[in-house]
């Protein structure tokens, strides 16, 4: 065992130390960067989640305060939602970006063209025969929020 340690110590006596010091500094800086990046991502996730929940309060997660003229109500909030989505987009992992964009497009299309008070009323009066816009809305918002995990 002694001859192995002698061989290793002899190697370090022959090799200049500056490459090893440079490697150690690079490893330390990459560790610090990783910690900073994780903290920044966690903060962005918290901000994203709280911004969406505050913008859609009363509608999500439980529709406790479903307003009249829901299409107008949701369309009025689309610019705020667009800003929230755009602010969070750099935080989304590259492989999840197409799904994130697709989920946003689905939500946007739903708010612009698919949800109306008539459809909500019809779904409440004929459960099971009419698709429930409240459930679809819940699913679309949940799909957006799943990117904040």
User: Does 21 fall in a domain?
Assistant: no
User: Does 9 fall in a domain?
Assistant: no
Range of the domain at 56: 45-148
Entry pTM: 0.79
Please state the domain count of the chain: 1
User: Does 67 fall in a domain?
Assistant: yes
DSSP helix, strand, coil percent of the chain (3-state; round to 5): 80, 0, 20
Structure tokens given for 110: 């739903």
pLDDT digit string, tens, across residues 102-148:
999 999 999 988 887 788 777 777 877 778 888 899 999 999 999 98
User: Does 37 fall in a domain?
Assistant: no
pLDDT digit string, tens, across residues 56-86:
998 898 888 888 888 889 999 999 999 999 9
User: Does 136 fall in a domain?
Assistant: yes
How many whole angstroms separate alpha carbon 88 and alpha carbon 48? 6
């Amino acid at each position: 065992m002694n001859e192995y340690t002698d061989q290793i110590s002899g190697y370090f006596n022959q090799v200049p130390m500056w490459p090893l010091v440079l490697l150690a500094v690079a490893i330390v800086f990459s560790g610090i960067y990783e910690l900073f990046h994780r903290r920044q991502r966690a903060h962005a996730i918290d901000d994203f989640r709280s911004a969406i929940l505050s913008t859609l309060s009363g509608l999500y997660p439980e529709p406790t305060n479903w307003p009249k003229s829901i299409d107008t109500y949701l369309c009025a909030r689309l610019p705020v939602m667009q800003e929230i989505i755009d602010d969070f987009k750099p935080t989304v992992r590259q492989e999840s970006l197409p799904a994130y964009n697709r989920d946003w497009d689905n939500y946007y299309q739903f708010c612009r063209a698919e949800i109306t008070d008539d459809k909500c009323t019809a779904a409440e009066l004929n459960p099971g025969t009419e698709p429930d816009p409240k459930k679809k809305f819940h699913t679309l918002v949940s799909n957006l929020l799943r990117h904040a995990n």
